Amino acid sequence: MGHEFYMQRCLELAVKGSGNVSPNPMVGCVIVHEGAIIGEGYHQKIGEAHAEVNAVKDVFEKHADNAVELLKNATAYVTLEPCAHFGKTPPCADLLIKHQVKKVVIGNADPFESVNGKGIEKLKNAGIEVISGVLDEECRFVNRRFFTRIKEHRPYFILKWAQTTNGFFAPTDQSQQWISGAEAKVLTHQWRSEEDAILVGKNTVLADNPQLNTREVVGKNPIRLVIDKNLDIPSNFHVFNDATKTIIFNEVKTDVVNNIHYVQMEDMHFYLPQKIAYQLYLMDIQSVIIEGGANILGQFIAANLWDEARIFTSKTEWESGIMAPKIDGKILEEIFVGNDSLQVLIR
């Protein structure tokens, strides 16, 4: 099998860490000896063992007494350059050197300053052959959130909304009215479980009293981000329950009350998306799904602060309402979800 075959398996493993490793990247590792996979692993949870550690452990669990000799003649495939620094765990480059693997094949170099070529250099200095850039684009896409945070110093922003077939986003009277179907709702909750946070504006909260959780699927709840300039949302609304951490961006106060974090900002009517992006970067929040309302979505679009847009279009027609945002991007995917069409765009 070629390098691409084993790297594809690494990618399949890497995405198993989705929603559990941020702000770390998702990484998969496969160890191959004479054309056979002898061990594999992935980064499962932030603060715990990296992919290479789990793959080497898998070799020892499967091959016991032969593991040491097998590793000396093995090739390790990994989606991202092995780390060369001490963080929450020891350097993975040192682990591969310790076990004298013959070759290391890498998808992406790691843009993080403490790594960024240092892992590759360590391996080469130890006499290990290194091949990099295998399925580079595919590996980069899997870790697009990580690359955005490291290179652009902001979270990866995903816009999401539903619209009628004639382009309406919400009723003009701010009443709650569903546009998309049950299947779209389940998928939306799955998406929430994969991202660090979910962002909505005050009007969306007042109209819908949303829970902003993942009750339709098994998965973690995202951090709730709410824009409420004057703190107008009543304290008995769902966003104030204890289900998960909630950050309220406002102009009134900075305070922490149990799981509710109030973050005061000045002049929120100026450069609000940029201010929020920088604040979230400082908080190590790597990805955000923005679910409304139309004004908030429009502000992020106008600021060019978005990376993906996921748009459901139903077969429903309304006579009037608030128009859905307008956006230009490259179509990544178009599928049907139940009776709704889903279009995914990238900037």
Active site residues: 52
The residues, ordered by sequence, that sit 6+ positions from 88 with a Cβ below 8 Å of its Cβ are: 46, 47
Cβ(130)–Cβ(123) under 8 Å? yes
